[in-house]
Structures are given as C-alpha cells and as structure tokens.
Amino acid sequence: MTSTDPAATLPEQRSYSETGVSGGLSDVRLAENPEPRCACLLLLDTSASMNGEPIRELNNGLLTFKEELMSDELASKRVEVAVLTFGPPQLVTDFTEATSFQPPTLQASGDTPMGAAVAMGLDRLQGRKRTYDANGITRFRPWVFLITDGAPTDLWGTAAQLVRDGEARGAFSFYAVGVKGANFGILNQIAPPNRPAAQLDGLKFRELFSWLSKSMHAVSRSTPGATVNLSTPGWLTTQS
C-alpha cells in the first residue's frame, strides 16, 4: 500500500513564475512578529504609614526589579510593567516594556484607597489587553501584585469581586502581599481564595522584587504544556 507515485496520477503541467536564481534556503526569510507580552501590574500602597524606611526599601525593591528583569534578554523584551500607587490612586507608570521601565521614586502620603486602586488597575490592564489584541500581539497570563501595610480606607467590596471574577476567568493571576501592620482579614477577602495573602518578612522588598523578577523570567519563556517552576520566595515571613 506504500510506494512512490505512479506516473498515472501526475497532474497537468504547470509553470512556476517564481523560478529564478535559486539561493536555496538562504532565500527563506523569517517573519518579524512582535514578542508576546507578559503584563505585570504593581499596585503599591504609598499611604502615610509607609513613610520612612518602608518607602525607601520599596523604592530599592523597584530598582532591583528593573535590574533583574534586564538581566534576562527574553524577559526584558516580553515583560511589561505598570505601577499604580495609592493613595490617592495614581498610575505612576503606564505599561511599558522592561527595557524602557524607569523605576519611579515613590513618596508616602495620604490614606489607603485600596478598593479604588484595584478597580482602576484592573481596568487599565483590560485596556492593555485590547491594545495587544488590536496589534496581533500574543500574551502570557498577566500578573497583578498588590502590596499594602494597612487596611482599605474606601469601599473594597467591588474590587474584591473584580479580583475573584478575573481569577475565575483566568484573566490574570492576583498576588496580595501584606507588610507588617496590614489587615490580613480584609486582604484575604480581596485576594483570590486559592492564593491567600502572603506576609512580607520585615522590609525584604528587594528579595520580594528579586523573586518577582525570577518568576517573570520563568513565565515569559514558558511553552504550552510546560510547568512554570517558581523559585521559593525568600521574602515570606516564617511566622503565620
């Protein structure tokens, strides 16, 4: 049943107009497609209670994040960072490729409108997704990273619902991190049930952002069916 073609099945003669000087496979050109993107949205508490050492370490953490994203060629091209601080809710850095991300120097002041910040951030993330889609840019699942040392001073029920809905749809992976003093009772109602809030050990913001950067390295090169191995977070508190 297996053989070479008998002459009887030959189709009629055709001419091939592209015939020319053949350079073999060196003539094959490779399509230039935009890199797939992995959006990383940072929702950072910059309320007055973060003043002093905490905000300084948070700023150092952002510098570490940039540095370590740049140490990986693929991640530097694929990861897009946005920074939204509260309060008041303010998009300090809109989504930008890691290569052009300028870590902002944040200052602490005001209260903690976490609910509004989460809603505003997720809305912006949705907008970025539309931009990718409109430009034929493929995506990895975005990461949303919330860091706070307090409790929301605004209504946060809607935000919590948006997080749960988005997680359930697979629209993003949401991580909540509480610094000492955070209200974990409320934070765990905002965080998705399958991924409760983590507690930062002291002010290990640099370790936290180093881990986040490594996670982005892993996610931004993952292929279908491959397990994404996240490194052990060295920034978690050992007390529960």
Nearer to another protein, 140 or 156 (CB): 140
98: alpha, beta or left? (left if phi > 0; alpha if psi -120 to 50): alpha
Site string for another protein, 141-180 (x = CB under 8 A): x----------------------------x----------
Please tell me whether residue 12 binds another protein under the rule CB under 8 A. Answer: yes
In degrees and rounded to multiples of 5, residue 233 shows phi and psi of -70, 125
Cis peptide before 152 (omega within 30 of 0): no
Part of the chain binding another protein (CB under 8 A), chosen from 133-141, 152-160, 188-196, 209-217: 133-141
b/e per residue, 209-229, with b = 16+ CB within 10 A? bbbbbbbbbbbbbeeeeeeee
In degrees and rounded to multiples of 5, residue 136 shows phi and psi of 65, 30
Q: How far apart are the first and last CA of the chain?
A: 69
Please tell me whether residue 8 binds another protein under the rule CB under 8 A. Answer: yes
Please tell me whether residue 239 binds another protein under the rule CB under 8 A. Answer: no
Nearer to another protein, 30 or 52 (CB): 30
Site string for another protein, 218-237 (x = CB under 8 A): -x-xxxxxxxx---------
Please tell me whether residue 130 binds another protein under the rule CB under 8 A. Answer: no
CB of 146 to another protein, least distance (A): 21
The residue assigned the tokens 């950067």 is 213
Part of the chain binding another protein (CB under 8 A), chosen from 86-94, 134-142, 144-152, 200-208: 134-142
Instruction: Report which of 98, 102, 95, 94 is spatially closest to residue 72, judged by C-alpha positions.
Output: 98
Binding-site size, another protein (CB under 8 A): 48
CB of 21 to another protein, least distance (A): 10
Q: Report yes or no: 85 and 92 within 8 Å, Cβ to Cβ.
A: yes
Q: Around Cβ 152, how many Cβ atoms within 10 Å?
A: 25
Helix (H, G, I), strand (E, B) or coil at 189: helix
Nearer to another protein, 229 or 232 (CB): 229
Nearer to another protein, 56 or 129 (CB): 129
Q: Which amino acid is at 110?
A: G
Residues near another protein (CB under 8 A) are 1-19, 22-25, 27-31, 33-34, 36, 135-141, 170, 219, 221-228
